[in-house]
Structure 1
Amino acid sequence: MKKNLTAILLAVCTASAHGQTTIAVYGLVDVGLTHESGGMAGGVTKLTSGVDAGSRLGIKGQEALGGGLAALFLLENGFQADTGALGQGGLLFGRQAWVGLQGRYGTVTAGRQYTPQYLSVVLADPFASGGAGDTKNLMAPTGNAASRMDNTLKYVSPTVAGWHAELAYGAGEGSDGSAAGRQAGAALDYGAGPLRIRIGHHNRDNDTASAKGMGRAANTVVAAVYDFGFAKAYCAYGINKGTNSSLLRNNANPYGLAVVPVPSRDSRDLLLGTSVPIGAHTLMASYIHKDDRSVPDRDASQFALGYRYALSKRSLLYASAAHIANRHGAGYTVGSAIEGGSGNRAIDLGIQHAF
């Protein structure tokens, strides 16, 4: 695996040297110290990777084909900087892997890509889907609405008067047929001046033929950001419907032994947040509420605070803390950009460098 990655990087450097295309190698390394508490394991302290943002190594390129048409690709590997292990379950390019064409009528790409709905949630998160305040602790994607889609064709329209649209389709391609695990998503995005609004939707059929009769999971979110100059305000409202549209967590199974995932068919998410830049310093805060409309009404609320200090344009120090108040047996945990947590409270301290 290491030899394969080395060969790819050497090939990239060779292509760039001959000027065949525009190619860039980039990455990010994030390592932090995390203390989690309030779970069945008690207090847990660990040095881990991908706390504020997932550690990654990427290669991207573009070639002009003439007539305003260009070929482009992106390969992005996720890894654990604390151990050197591959991320995303051991996939070589688990974060993203796609190739496509871009022209005057938009961009079409094929491969492993982010869902339009997930990109909508990230837009409204002052923590940018990382740190202890990560939206993934409570909001979709959990359960059926994953952040990435495999086997995906995606179209992004040109921007007209501040508006652009996205469409994505991913075939299931499993042993139970292409309908099992099939995914589709869409987004409508508007940005002009200090305002950005995005509506994202994700739909996924259940993963097996035996579960197809149970219907499908659908997640819709409306996200907005307004930049006042001295601060940014964030807001999002999500609607989750269908089996596994949001994976609730119960503190204990009937035998009281372990945390058990409980599928929900109907829930709502609300996020309110802010970020305040002060020179090299940035303060963040957010509130997220999960309104479970299934029986037995396992609601939860998360309160989070964060701080980033820019050492330079590429390096920063960060700290974040969050607490989740679970109700009626819910067992949501505070995680980070890459890992789920072990308890309903966490505090993080770390360093990040981008290149």
Structure 2
Amino acid sequence: MMKKVCWAGALAAACIDAVAADSAVNVYGLVDVAIVRETGGSAGDVTKVTSGVGAGSRLGFKGREDLGGGLAAVFLLESGFQADTGALGQGGLLFGRQAYVGLQGGFGALTAGRQYTPHYLTVVMADPFASGYAGDTKNLIAATGNSASRMDNSLKYVSPAIRGVSAELVYGAGEVAGDSTAGRQFGGALDYNAGPLHVRLGYHNRNNDTATVRNTSNAKNTVLAAVYDFGVVKAHVAYGVNKGLNSSLLRNTANPYGLPGTPVASTDSRDMLLGATIPYGPHTWMVSWIHKDDRGAPDQDASQYALGYRYALSRRTELYTSIAHIVNRHGASYTVGSAIEGGSGNGAVDVGIRHAF
């Protein structure tokens, strides 16, 4: 009997070793903390120590299992947190940054769960500040409104790249009983990335119908972005068109992600970004100008001017500082935030450190 137990244990151990050989799970993370000075707020200026300024602090688990024949199972679970307080980010969600599982192979990748929208990823690609620091595009560009960066209940397909060209498609179920279209989202992107040129066209469409709000127009966001690497400098440009209710929302301290409930800034607007990234050894300079052109009756335009600097102490640790200022017109009240916070006024400066592991 003892021999049988030993053989069974040895066989189980061998099976576990075989599975481990075909699988890989990586634990990774990022911790970002900065001192931030916000100015121009209605309640006065404020100085704070906060987390997720350059990039959201996170702890993630990423895995892949080889299923044979070029097919693999993949998953990602990523939790956001506030390094200054230890609190969970994204409204207290355990894996609020991303949570998905799927299959990957020669056909591309098909995943299901909570994922980034193709439109948001297009904006991030064009942003010299990579959707963080004081110069964050989310301060003005529509990704804070309709797209809200991430989609729940989503199915996403990413094609393989052929001669630098790839595509993304995503669908998110609204899950409202009795109405299959209420809260439904879908979007996509077409991407070209070869040599020094990266061009991306992103689109997102959200049905605003909910159990309490019916027969409203869909929010539609389209953005064309390009980055060209000249070697000594990278040039960034983006142009976005926003149409419909909730297609472009004000961003404020109470709700930095522009979710329903925040004041509507416009139902018809255009976004323009011009910027540059200047690397020099461990030094990187970032600069951008963003303009929101409100086509509605209030004509609530706004322009943001931003400058930033990063110093790489190593491949995983950097020091940074950035400053941004927004000029609001005709009652607009856009604020200068950061990677995960909306900010309280039209100006901000930050000095921080982030470490990846």
TM-score by length of 2: 0.90
Distance 2:188 2:17 in 1: 35
Superposition pairs of residues 204-243 of structure 1, within 5 angstroms: 204-243=206-245
The Cα of 1:264 is off from its aligned counterpart by 1.7
Match of 1:265 among 264, 267, 274: 267
Report the identity percentage.
Answer: 70
Deviations 1:284-331 (A, max 9, x none): 000000000011100000000000000000000000000000001101
For 2:10, the equivalent position in structure 1 comes to none
Query: Do the aligned residues in 2 keep the contact of 1:317 with 1:352 (CA within 8 Å)?
Result: yes
Asked whether 1:87 is paired with 2:89, we answer yes
Amino acid at match of 2:189: A
Match of 1:306 among 305, 308, 330: 308
Unaligned runs of 5+ in 2: 1-15, 253-260
Amino acid at match of 1:218: K
Query: Do the aligned residues in 2 keep the contact of 1:28 with 1:55 (CA within 8 Å)?
Result: yes
The Cα of 1:211 is off from its aligned counterpart by 2.7
Distance 1:220 1:75 in 2: 28
Match of 2:64 among 62, 65, 68: 62
Match of 2:341 among 334, 339, 342: 339
Tell me the secondary structure at the aligned position of residue 212 of structure 1. Answer: coil
Q: Provide the aligned length of Structure 1 versus Structure 2.
A: 334
Match of 1:276 among 275, 278, 299: 278
Q: Closer, same or farther in 2 for the Cα pair 1:141/1:43, shift >3 Å?
A: same
The Cα of 1:152 is off from its aligned counterpart by 0.4
Asked whether 1:141 is paired with 2:146, we answer no
The Cα of 1:157 is off from its aligned counterpart by 0.6
For 2:34, the equivalent position in structure 1 comes to 32
Work out which of the two has the higher radius of gyration on C-alpha atoms and give 1 or 2.
2
The Cα of 1:231 is off from its aligned counterpart by 0.7
The Cα of 1:146 is off from its aligned counterpart by 1.1
Distance 2:147 2:89 in 1: 19
Amino acid at match of 1:112: R
Moved >6 Å (runs of 4+): 14-17
For 2:4, the equivalent position in structure 1 comes to none
TM-score by length of 1: 0.91
Q: Closer, same or farther in 2 for the Cα pair 1:209/1:17, shift >3 Å?
A: closer
Amino acid at match of 2:187: G
Distance 2:295 2:31 in 1: 40
Tell me the secondary structure at the aligned position of residue 214 of structure 1. Answer: coil
For 1:188, the equivalent position in structure 2 comes to 190
Match of 1:51 among 31, 50, 53: 53
Distance 1:69 1:241 in 2: 40
Query: Do the aligned residues in 1 keep the contact of 2:136 with 2:337 (CA within 8 Å)?
Result: yes
For 1:169, the equivalent position in structure 2 comes to 171
For 1:318, the equivalent position in structure 2 comes to 320
Distance 2:77 2:17 in 1: 15
The Cα of 1:19 is off from its aligned counterpart by 3.6
Distance 1:209 1:182 in 2: 12
Amino acid at match of 1:118: Y
